[in-house]
Amino acid sequence: MSQAQAPEPRTTLDPERVAHWLARHPDFFVGREGLLQQLKVPHPQTQGAISLLERLVHDLRERAETAEWRLEHLLETARHNEAQYQRTRSLILALLEAESIDALGEALSTQLSERFRTQAVALWLHTPQDADTVQPPRFPLDAPAQEALDDLLDGHNSRCTQLSRNAWRKLLPHTTAPESSGSCAVTRLTMGEPLGYLLLASQESEHFRATLDTLFTDYLGEIIGRLLIRLDTAHARRD
């Protein structure tokens, strides 16, 4: 009586080798479409399996949704940048049209309020020639105001930070102080020599939060500094 032969051990293909082979033979499934329909893969979101074709459709749909979201994000960013450019353009043109420092302060306050939701503005300037007739938001810089502004800057040239109710009353006396603390952006005005300070404030404590970049405040401070020199020179010539 012959002894039954033992079954040959079952061999398992290395998945990496299979993947490598299929990558080198992309036409393997040509003419074997029925095999594609029989293949099952794990469902990406729930337990169980789905056909390979269903999984491909699912993956393609997700990729399309991701691409659509990225495109919408890019369009939204472009719309925001365009609106920011238009607001900044209108602000700078209005400042350039100012014929006096008081008119400059008024244009600055109006434009920032209407276009940038900045509720209060102050220009604290060193020893203006017409200190007795200055109009808000322009103020002659005195020692208490300079000390308060330097405290806000805390060693920086520009800074966004919280603005207490007491500091608001001291630095923005022409406006209504918030019930608690607000926020502000402050920058030094210099053109080879100290000119003063520009203070932008909001009653919203997070409007000028400390994590905000000060690029716009720096830029605006540079524009204001140059215009102050030009207007002061023009005023001196008229006198």
Q: Tell me: the pLDDT tens digits for 20-66?
A: 888 888 787 777 767 766 777 776 666 667 776 777 788 888 899 99
> Is 80 exceeded by the pLDDT of residue 123?
yes
> How does strand 120-125 pair with strand 138-140?
parallel
Distant-in-sequence, close-in-space partners of 38: CB < 8 Å, separation ≥ 6: 51
Distant-in-sequence, close-in-space partners of 93: CB < 8 Å, separation ≥ 6: none
Domain segments of the chain: what residues?
48-96, 118-238
Rounded to the nearest 10 degrees, what angle do helices 52-96 and 101-116 cross at?
Answer: 160
The residue-averaged pLDDT of 82-96 equals 95
- What is d(CA 216, CA 159) in angstroms, rounded to the nearest whole number? 11
CATH superfamily of 118-238: GAF domain (3.30.450.40)
Alpha-carbon dihedral 214, 217, 219, 223, rounded to 10 degrees: -160
- pLDDT higher for 192 or 166? 166
Confidence bin at 234 (pLDDT 50/70/90): confident
Nearest CA to 103 out of 127, 126, 137 is that of 137
> Is 90 exceeded by the pLDDT of residue 148?
yes
Q: What is the pTM of this model?
A: 0.72
> Is 90 exceeded by the pLDDT of residue 216?
yes
